[in-house]
Structure formats: structure tokens, C-alpha cells
């Protein structure tokens, strides 16, 4: 992996951590993406949920088009598991409700 890609990933992980904390959600960036620990993922959410952070130059615009009209989208490629897409603010509101945050 190129240095530039590593820096972009690091910035993305820090950005997600800061955004979650600003919403009152406990979050901690996992150093080295969990390479030196048993914890997988890039960001640890309380209680014990790890999340992966991905930044790409291009992401399928279909995702953004769907989320302009709906709060949640379910996506699945052939022979792959379902993925749930949602807007960041909607995710934060669900998380806070489920975990008794503010």
C-alpha cells in the first residue's frame, strides 16, 4: 500500500471517530487497523462493535441516489450477503436510541 493511501485511510478513520464522538457516541480508532491486537476493524464503537472505514475516489452513485429518497437501503450482489446502507445522521440517531445516549 502506498504512503498516500495509508494517509488517506488514517484521515478517514480519524474523521469517522471525531464525527461519532461529536454525536455523543463512544468511538475509538483502532491503531494499525487492529493489526497488533485481537480487535479487527478501524473504529471501535461501544459496546464492542467494530467498524471498517473505507474511502474511495468513486463509490457507486446509486447508493447516494437511493439515500436521498430513503433512510435505509438494503443491497446485495449475487451470492453475497446483504449490506445495509444508511445516512450517517440516521445511523447516529438509531445508535443513540439503542444505547441510551442523550
The DSSP secondary structure of 14-76, one letter per residue, reads HHHHHHHHHTT--EEE-GGGGTTSS--SSEEETTTEEE-----S---HHHHHHHHH-SEEEE-
- With a threshold of 0.85, does the pTM exceed it? no
DSSP state letter for 2:
-
Q: Supply the pLDDT for residue 56.
A: 80
Q: Supply the pLDDT for residue 79.
A: 94
pLDDT tens digit sequence for 14-50? 999 999 999 988 999 988 765 655 567 899 987 678 8
Q: Which residue has the cell 440517531?
A: 93
> Any idea where the domains of the chain sit in the sequence?
1-56, 58-102
Phi/psi of residue 33, nearest 5 degrees: 55, 35
Percent of the chain at pLDDT exceeding 70: 89
- Which three cell numbers mark 4? 498516500
Amino acid at each position: 500500500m502506498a504512503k498516500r493511501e495509508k494517509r488517506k485511510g488514517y484521515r478517514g478513520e480519524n474523521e469517522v471517530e471525531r464525527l461519532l464522538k461529536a454525536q455523543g457516541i463512544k468511538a475509538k480508532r483502532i491503531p494499525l487497523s487492529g493489526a497488533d491486537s485481537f480487535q479487527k476493524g478501524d473504529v471501535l464503537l461501544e459496546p464492542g462493535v467494530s467498524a471498517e472505514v473505507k474511502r474511495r475516489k468513486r463509490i457507486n452513485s446509486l447508493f447516494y441516489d437511493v439515500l436521498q429518497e430513503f433512510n435505509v437501503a438494503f443491497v446485495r450482489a449475487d451470492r453475497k450477503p446483504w449490506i445495509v446502507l444508511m445516512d450517517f445522521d440516521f445511523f447516529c440517531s438509531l445508535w443513540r436510541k439503542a444505547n441510551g445516549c442523550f
